Amino acid sequence: MGGTWSSMDPMKIDVPKIDALLERDPYLNLHEHDIRRRYGIFKDYLEKIKKGDNNLDQFTRGYENFGVIIDKNNGVLAREWAPSAHKLYLTGDFNNWNKTSTPFTKLEYGKWELRLPANQDGSCLLKHLSEIKIIVENDRGELFERLSPWAHYVTQPENQITEGTTYKQRVYHPDADKVYKWQHPNPKKPKSLRIYECHVGIATNEHRVGTYLEFAKNIIPRIVKQGYNAIQLMAVMEHAYYASFGYQVTSFYAVSSRYGTPDELKELVDVAHKNGITVLLDLVHSHASKNTLDGLNMFDGTDACFFHSGSRGEHPLWDSRLFNYGNYDVLKFLMSNLRWYMEEYRFDGFRFDGVTSMLYHSRGMGQGFTGHYEEYFNLNVDVEGIVYLMLANHMLHELYPEIITIAEDVSGMPGMCRPVDEGGIGFDYRLGMAIPDKWIKILKHEKDEDWNMNDLCWVLINRRWMEKTVAYCESHDQALVGDKTIAFWLMDKEMYTSMSVLSPPNPIITRGIALHNMIRLITHGLGGEAYLNFMGNEFGHPEWLDFPRAGNNSSFHYARRQWHLVDDEMLKYKFMNNFDREMNWLEDKYGWLNANPAYVSWKHEDDKIIVFDRAGVVFVFNFHPTKSFADYTIGVPEAGTYKIMLNSDDKDFGGEMRVDNSVPHFSKPEPYADRPHRILIYIPCRTAIVYARES
């Protein structure tokens, strides 16, 4: 898949449409100089790339020229960038681990090269799955063992899943008949993006690490049935510590061998594409593991190379290294990494992790980000990090028009999700990170009768105009041990004793299921232009997530998803799962995520009622714990007969069946709540109802 820029001059891009950005947000006029300056730096980088590699297409194909490459005649080309190394060697099974018998030749600009011919019988000197290492010699004659930064496959010792192990680089060159053959094209970009955030390793009921093939066989059918059209795969880039959730990356070009082989990941992606599922990679370019034996750190014997030297290259909170985004060869490494996952594994896009850390020299630590524009345009802003993101998005969207890129940014940087030629950073979506924070805050500290409807609506609608947001109630962050999922905040220990459909009615469980459904629907309908759910939360997974580690005796008890709970018809988890599914399929029908933001027509603090319409669909929420309302007047956008399309009080959703869904609601041509027509409805307490006009 993909395109080419081989005949394209990267400097011949559109004149920046920065005036449009400034017109849409006049507050940015005070910072026009900063916006134009960073765009100018972006163009300067493109000029450097043109001079160094002719065009961006060649520049971002570094994986074709670096690392260990086996050609069609079984010859080997090994090439590395190690600017401070005195000498470089390749060692491994092929030379009986003689550290200095196979030296590289030094080239210009810190590059090193080694060529090895095929054996006399035509076979490759480097056997499939054999082990190799790079040996770096410094100017004092000291030898250091390293793995190639471009390694395609690295493995841990068997039965060493958790921590304290060192990866081994393996030659990955299977016979042609063992290489996975792609069968299905990438799907078109969804107009409405409904993301299922998932982790292959924990996607099994069993007390072990799950596999790519198990996920393809067992989990993708669940995702399709549940109405999601995209998956976001976490912890795929190889990482040092299982419990880091994939955020301590050691080998950026190697997919995690914990779950299987590269070809097995390809099969997973292909199965997803067969089912029309868009596949996003959780990408970590914001930092890297500090490991030296199997990571990028100290690769050439110095603390620089891929990273800033000294304190600027250290992230004190994450205990990791920070990339030098201003370095030409680092840009080649990172941008080629994006192309690698698009070309080799056919991913459909990326969720960029830790973007806030890339935007500011403070790495976002200790900053509240009030929204004042001075926070986004000052000396704390890391222009090199911003320009890298602009280059990455520019390249990806030119080569892959159907791509999706998502930024994890808590700061609210203006222009994050506007095109680069407009002076923006170029992402398609940003995560609405204030929304889950709000839900956890009110669930933790407030009774639902004290919830402020106006405040709740404000958090859900407070996003930048024409910058798309991924709304979510909770992600993997809220599922981790030390926090609680929404279901746990609502029901806690009662989930262990009162989730059977044969159990006596339990008011905590009844309230919990009702609010669980309502919280999801209002976030889905009001909170953004895309929706995200973490694996298992759709059915109120009852326990936190805790990976095997020293502190829990390497237990897998909480590092799994208990699918049997939702599959058991005798348990109430099915009610939340049913509602989540119907909510997604209703969105698929009406497309509110792809419509303009909702119009909130009614917020009543005493009644605890919220009414809004979007894409012609009318949403009504009654958060009051005890008050139900008959003949309640709401405004509707069009004349006609309105019918109930989704009712959280239905039996299938754990409700009390207080509403007759078959009753039609005829509009009156009388304005109400700033809408041109009105209808009268019955809205019980702790209930959400969605109405749509009959065609």
| Paired tokens of 471 | 């709304």
CA distance 79 to 107: 10
CA atoms within 13 A on the CB side of 200: 28
Q: Say if CB 297 and CB 321 are below 8 A apart.
A: yes
Classify burial at 141, counting beta carbons within 10 Å of its beta carbon; exposed 0-12, middle 13-18, buried 19 or more: exposed
Annotate 571-634 with three-state secondary structure. Answer: ECHHHHHHHHHHHHHHHHHHCHHHCCCCEEEEEECCCCEEEEEECCEEEEEECCCCCCEEEEEE
Angle CA(217)–CA(222)–CA(223) in degrees, nearest 5?
105
Other Cβ atoms within 10 Å of 28 Cβ, number: 20
| Paired tokens of 135 | 């040996």
CA distance 348 to 265: 14
CA distance 379 to 360: 9
Between the alpha carbon of residue 537 and those of residues 527, 563, 621, the distances in Å are 18, 11, 21
Rg (alpha carbons) of the chain, rounded to whole number: 27
CA distance 11 to 47: 7
The single residue of 408, 543, 582, 587 carrying the catalytic annotation is 408
The single residue of 267, 282, 353, 467 carrying the catalytic annotation is 353
- Is 353 catalytic? The answer is yes
| Paired tokens of 275 | 């089912």
- Greatest CA separation found in the chain? 89
| Paired tokens of 94 | 């092929």
Q: Strand 349-352 and strand 278-283: pairing? A: parallel
Rounded to the nearest 10 degrees, the angle between the axes of helix 434-445 and helix 453-461 is 160
Q: Say if CB 418 and CB 427 are below 8 A apart.
A: no
Report which residue type is found at 333.
F
- Is 263 catalytic? The answer is no
Residue 676, SS3 per DSSP: coil
Q: Strand 314-315 and strand 237-239: pairing? A: unpaired
Catalogue the active-site residues.
353, 408
